[in-house]
Amino acid sequence: MTLVGLETPAAEPPASPAELAEQATAAILADLASAERGVVVDSPPGAGKSTLVVRAAAELADTGEQVMVIAQTNEQVDDLTERLASTHPGLRIGRISANEYVPSPRVARYGNVTVSAKAADLVGCPVVAGTAHKWATVHDASWPWAIVDEAYQMRSDLLLRVAGLFDRALFVGDPGQLDPFSTVQTERWTGLTWDPMQSAVAVLLRHNPDIPVRTLPVSWRLPEPAVDVIAEAFYPFSGFRAGTTREQRRMEFTTSSFATNPFDEALETAAESGWALYELPGRHTVRTDAEAVTACAALAARLLQRGAVAYSERAVAGASVTADRIAVGTAHRDQA
Amino acid sequence: MNGTEAWLARIRGRALPRSHNARTIAALASNPGCARRAIMDAAGVDKQRLAAHAGFPASFGQSRFALTRGNAFEAQVKANGAAELLRLLREHLRLPIPEASYDDLSEVGGNISLELRHVRTRNMLARAARSPNDARPADNARLASDAGTMFDHPLLRLEVGGRYAYLEPDLIAFQIRGQFRVVEIKSFAVIDGRADGDKVAAAAIQSAVYVLALRDALAELGIPPAAVADETILVCPENFSSRPVAASLDVRKQLTVLRRQLSRLDRIDDLLGLLPGDLTFDLDPDGKGVPQRAPADLARAIRQVEARYAPECLNTCEMCFFCREEARGRTAALGRDALDDLGGVEQVATVLRLVRRALETGRPAPGPGQEPGQNLGPGSDMAEAADLLRTAARLRAESLGEAV
Amino acid sequence: MSTLTSLARAIAQEQQAAQPITTVRHVHISHRPFVFIPLALAGEANAPLAAMAGDDPGAPRLLTVPEPRDRDQRFAFAADLAAIILRYIESYLGDEETAGTTKETRTRYADAPQLLVPNPAGVAFTRLLGRSTRFRRTEGPYAVAESVPVLGRWLTFLAERAEHPASSLMLAVTDALALHWATGQSPMEDLNLGTLLGWIDPAPGLTGVQAAARAEDPVHCPPAGPATDPTFDNEVLESRFLAVRTAKATGDGRAMQRAKATLADALATQLTPTWTLMWRAVDLLRRLPPGDHVATRWNQDKDAFTWHANHLRDGGPPQPRRDSAVPAARRLAGLEKVQAEYAAQRAFDDPLVMAEYRMTGEAFAGTVTAAEPDRVDDSGRRRVLRPRITVETSDVVLAEPGASLTSPARPNQAARVLSVTAAGDRTSVVLELKGGMGRALTPEPGSVPTTGEAVCYATFTDGFQRLPEFPDPEDTPWTHGGPPPQYVPSDDDAQEEWS
């Protein structure tokens, strides 16, 4: 519908999710340029955290600043290295690793990546990436900038071991994640600003309250109907919105449902609202509950049988849901 | 008095009603599935007295030394219009308060109902919230811009299980620049900046109860929740002295938990619907107030309302020994994780029967008939639990070199 | 808890008697421990009310504080306690022994003191008593007896050791008992020394349940402190305090003596039952055979004791009020390392503890069905002895090919998993062994498991772990607040109120 003859010069059209996300990223990169000590970026799932890390690393490198990238696991470091190497083929990237690390093919295939256990071998690289544990063994070196990825997974005592290596830093992480873990139970440091059992971000902010905290406001992973549920449960204090709309992300079935099939009801609900809860009869069970496993498998099988078609911003015309596009999550490793 | 109130009054009997406080609400919220506690608290039953008469007195007594110390500390902080508190707020929290008025809302002349007192509290709070300095005549405009207002003993109420519970907290609602902060005074020590974690956690959840109740009171007048700060202020003695020290507590998490738990509480009406109409916990006092009701009869009445016992109840509920005795033989009584560890089997006897049968035959026991509420069909979860228990029993026997 | 412990609790509930959850003792029990039972005045942060203390079960010393809010009386209590505890500790500052490797030896005290308190709250009280006394000055305003700050530093040291999972220098007896027995009550109720012992060692003629129920009655079994029974406070203690205050006000010396004596009598009734329980617990623990690593860990305790004794002798400063950033992180790393080592050592010492790991698939036990003890690997530059064995087990095996396993029977030998094959409810694991077989190309006798031998392999080892590196405190980075100010004990510390 078009309205003719109405002039509303005062109200600007609301920004699209993509514009919002871009504005936020631009603001963060601008913050970096003027940051005295650094910036913290809170990122809900699928809000473009890795994209931000890669862009920030490349932009800092562009200005001639050397950047160390600190991630928590080798898997995460390889991910970032791969993305940096593929999007910035002209950028030399160092991958610092333990002696026994075998470079994964997805990193080794890039000519602009140098892998070494010694920081000295990588001095020529404007960007050097490694795990926090590896960085903790590096001495007598320093970087003007660090980018700390998954900073909410990092424990404060690990940050203490690496923080001497850099002057300023961009901390990026998902505040909805569980706090770091210790095998030791003690209240000895409760309430201290440098409590070693807290997350790196918590300790950093308590000592540097002036560091700006930004949020990536748009999740591209979660569909719109799921955002409210997730945001309320895990991000009660910041919140975020979905990058796509109900209309863009939806699912349809090519066969009709059986009234008698209990799984169909759950699938229909999920297709309509973005998520569904399939409730088993209430009873106490062992953690690896065969009944729950069977139900998960049956739901997945039924989803395939029903010939589901998923529509998204990447597949506007719809793509049929095949087995490789179904993920099953569990709360504990042994349940998988 | 509506039907629910009359029903609850009948359940309570002739005893004077006990009112909720932040501690009872926090305890209720920590075990929202316990209908027994929900009903007794809603009816204002004196649980301590009830448990004792039924033969299970709980040891929730308080030492007079602790009471004396607590009262003395509170009086010290509140003395002279809470001058000491004001100093703390300025120094520790860097609040720029040149002066503040102090109103004790407990001082209401005559015998006024809780409801009327609540209305008075609400009006005072509303006036302060709407135009920060109208609560007191502002004779000095310069001071007024930053002046604070303290309300001691506001009478609040909170909806619990579908009906209002009145709270008469020992708290100060401190208002400055249109925002209230809850101030709680506790007499446990903060030593070198740290205090007992359990006590701080308990204080935080109680403060959260007050924040909720304050917000409710203001919401009825159309004042948004932001008028009450998420940060509360805890005042405790410092180190080994009786000098007070203040700290900020961020209770956002507690508020989230509390709101969720309160929403999970079954509605009192629904719970009452499950109970026999003639249920009463009246102790049948004689002319001198001495209970005449037979303890066994009272115990029968208590058992009409289902409880959900967990060992944590021993810290929070006066009925705990009664419920513990009732729960003897249940795996949940053996510890927080015992039920899960034992494959969800609810009765100790069933656990051991499954173990023995499995060990005798080398196979999981067939579907047992004795476990109430369990699925007995083939492929039921009991087979898995039996498997788990058989492995545990085999390993235990093997390691001890003996039969189970 | 775990399924095995919960199962033991279920059995205990049914049998009405506690059940063992270990086959050996995992704590050191001194031949002459020092039992310390403090009582505190309700409502105060750390006001000593009384204590029963000593290393002779037949000769407890009773200390009382007639006016617990009086600062001078608190310090008098601290001085009295110091006289007993320091004499006990100093009795270990004589005999020395040589320790260390052949390359690097050191001297340490041949034995160390052991402080036993009833429960974790007793440890917390001790820590606070240490905190409130260690900064005191022995001259100037508010001077205290010379022994008071020394007591404070020893109590602080011991309470800090109590945080170490592997240390036995200071034990909460409820923890030590609960480590070895499962009762038919919950872990929370196990914090009550009386009920816990009721389950483990009921009085003749009583079941565990009956004994525990009896112990819950404060008249039969007063609380093991530091908190007192509120009824005792209100009905007994208050009037005895009043008598002391009255005698003081009237200046009646004989009345004061009488008042103090009746107060002491009352406090003794609250402490003596716990004193008896403590020594019964010591006896019970002593009767268990010690695990192999108990002596290893006690040696570490002796090292720590020696270090602290030398630190005191050399005029080192008292422990700071709190850890700054680097010491806190370093301490946490140390605790985590010790925790992991201690857990592994207990499993290696005790098949019933190892069974916990067999439940979860972190270890398996079975029988050797095939062995190639003389197998030599000549694929590399050097011919090396690499025997292979096949183990069949009915346990869950989560280890995957390539994983390195260790057996409690041969802790110096690494076993690499070559294959895992499941058939029915049994699993075959082929292992390649390395190390611990001597230098020749044939293994020393007994160094390789033989066919038919019962073996156990775990995914963890009892070996020492390395401590991570941390910056020096003066290099504390900006993320953690920068370098902390050097701690200098101040007059404020020394004159702090204690009321």
Chain segment C381-408, per-residue pLDDT in tens: 889 999 999 999 999 999 999 999 999 9
Confidence of residue B381 (pLDDT cuts 50, 70, 90): low
Q: How much is the average pLDDT of C25-42?
A: 97
Structure-token match 């705990």, residue found: B320
Q: How much is the average pLDDT of C252-280?
A: 96
Res C415 pLDDT > 70? yes
149-188 in chain A: CB under 8 A from chain B: 187
Contacts of C284 (CB under 8 A, 6+ apart): C177, C197, C200, C201
Contact (CB, 8 A) for B227 and B218: yes
Residue of B nearest to C11 (CA): B352
List of chain B residues whose C-beta atoms are within 8 Å of the C-beta of residue C23: 399-400
In this complex, do B381 and A283 lie within 8 Å of one another by their Cβ atoms?
yes
For residue A164, give the amino acid letter: G
In this complex, do C163 and A186 lie within 8 Å of one another by their Cβ atoms?
yes
Q: How much is the average pLDDT of A81-87?
A: 92
Report d(CA B366, CA B363) in Å as an integer. Answer: 9
Res C135 pLDDT > 80? yes
Residues above pLDDT 90, as percent of chain B: 23
- How many Cβ atoms sit within 10 Å of the Cβ of residue B163? 15
Tallying the residues shown for chain B, one arrives at 404
| B187 interfacial to chain C (CB closer than 8 Å) | yes
Q: How much is the average pLDDT of C255-268?
A: 96
Q: Considering the entire predicted model, what is its pTM?
A: 0.88
Q: What is the pLDDT of residue C55?
A: 97
Q: How much is the average pLDDT of B131-151?
A: 52
Res C43 pLDDT > 80? yes
pLDDT per residue as tens digits for the range B233-279: 999 999 888 889 988 888 988 888 888 778 777 678 888 888 998 89
Most confident of A310-319, B379-388, C333-342, C462-471: C333-342
Q: Which residues is C434 bridged to in the sheet?
A: C414
CA distance B83 to chain C (A): 22
In this complex, do B197 and A187 lie within 8 Å of one another by their Cβ atoms?
yes
Least reliable range by pLDDT among A70-79, A264-273, C216-225: A264-273
List of chain A residues whose C-beta atoms are within 8 Å of the C-beta of residue C482: 207
Residue of B nearest to A187 (CA): B197
In this complex, do C478 and A163 lie within 8 Å of one another by their Cβ atoms?
yes
Residue of C nearest to B66 (CA): C43
Report d(CA C125, CA C48) in Å as an integer. Answer: 9
Percent of chain B as helix, strand, coil, to the nearest 5: 50, 15, 40
Burial of A100 per CB tally in 10 Å (0-12, 13-18, 19+)? exposed
| A291 interfacial to chain B (CB closer than 8 Å) | yes
Tallying the residues shown for chain A, one arrives at 336
Contact (CB, 8 A) for A43 and A221: no
Report d(CA C336, CA C106) in Å as an integer. Answer: 26
Q: How much is the average pLDDT of C158-166?
A: 94
Q: Pick the residue with more confidence: A286 or A133?
A: A133
Least reliable range by pLDDT among B169-178, B206-215, C124-133: B169-178
Contacts of A5 (CB under 8 A, 6+ apart): none
Closest by CA position to C480, among listed A35, A171, A152, A205: A205
Res C360 pLDDT > 70? yes
| A283 interfacial to chain B (CB closer than 8 Å) | yes
CA distance C124 to chain B (A): 10
Closest by CA position to C323, among listed A165, A166, A160, A151: A160
Cis peptide before C226 (omega within 30 of 0): yes
Res C499 pLDDT > 70? no
> From the candidates B188, B199, B239, which should be mutated to test the interface with C, based on the most C CB atoms within 10 A?
B239
In this complex, do A163 and C479 lie within 8 Å of one another by their Cβ atoms?
yes
Least reliable range by pLDDT among A290-294, B307-311, C3-7: A290-294
List of chain C residues whose C-beta atoms are within 8 Å of the C-beta of residue A184: 165, 332, 335-336, 339
Nearest beta carbon to residue C45 from set B240, B315, B329: B240
In this complex, do B344 and A190 lie within 8 Å of one another by their Cβ atoms?
no
Report d(CA B285, CA A136) in Å as an integer. Answer: 73
Q: How much is the average pLDDT of C126-141?
A: 90
Q: How many CB pairs under 8 A join A and C?
A: 82
Least reliable range by pLDDT among A67-76, A279-288, C164-173, C275-284: A279-288
For residue B25, give the amino acid letter: I
Res B368 pLDDT > 50? no
Contact (CB, 8 A) for C24 and C289: yes
CA distances for A307 relative to A223, A267, B280, C322, angstroms: 21, 12, 59, 63
Q: What is the pLDDT of residue B375?
A: 40
In this complex, do C332 and A207 lie within 8 Å of one another by their Cβ atoms?
no
In this complex, do C329 and A136 lie within 8 Å of one another by their Cβ atoms?
no
Res B135 pLDDT > 70? no
pLDDT per residue as tens digits for the range A119-129: 888 888 999 99
Q: Pick the residue with more confidence: B364 or C285?
A: C285
Most confident of A264-268, B270-274, C298-302, C424-428: C298-302
Q: Which residues is A148 bridged to in the sheet?
A: A70, A171
CA distance C481 to chain A (A): 5
Res B379 pLDDT > 70? no
Q: What is the pLDDT of residue A334?
A: 62
Percent of chain A as helix, strand, coil, to the nearest 5: 35, 15, 45
Q: Pick the residue with more confidence: B404 or C269?
A: C269
Q: Which chains touch C (3 or more CB pairs under 8 A)?
A: A, B
Average pLDDT of every residue of chain C = 93
Q: What is the pLDDT of residue B270?
A: 86
Contact (CB, 8 A) for C484 and C473: yes
Nearest beta carbon to residue C326 from set A137, A160, A188: A160
Q: What is the pLDDT of residue B348?
A: 93
List of chain C residues whose C-beta atoms are within 8 Å of the C-beta of residue B392: 3-4, 7, 359
Q: How much is the average pLDDT of B1-26?
A: 82
Q: How much is the average pLDDT of B368-381?
A: 43
Residues above pLDDT 70, as percent of chain C: 98
Report d(CA C18, CA C190) in Å as an integer. Answer: 11
| A212 interfacial to chain C (CB closer than 8 Å) | no
CA dihedral sign, ordered A221, A223, A226, A228? positive
CA distance B198 to chain A (A): 10
pLDDT per residue as tens digits for the range C421-441: 998 889 999 999 999 998 888
HSE at residue C182, side-chain half, CA atoms within 13 A, is: 26
Confidence of residue B108 (pLDDT cuts 50, 70, 90): low
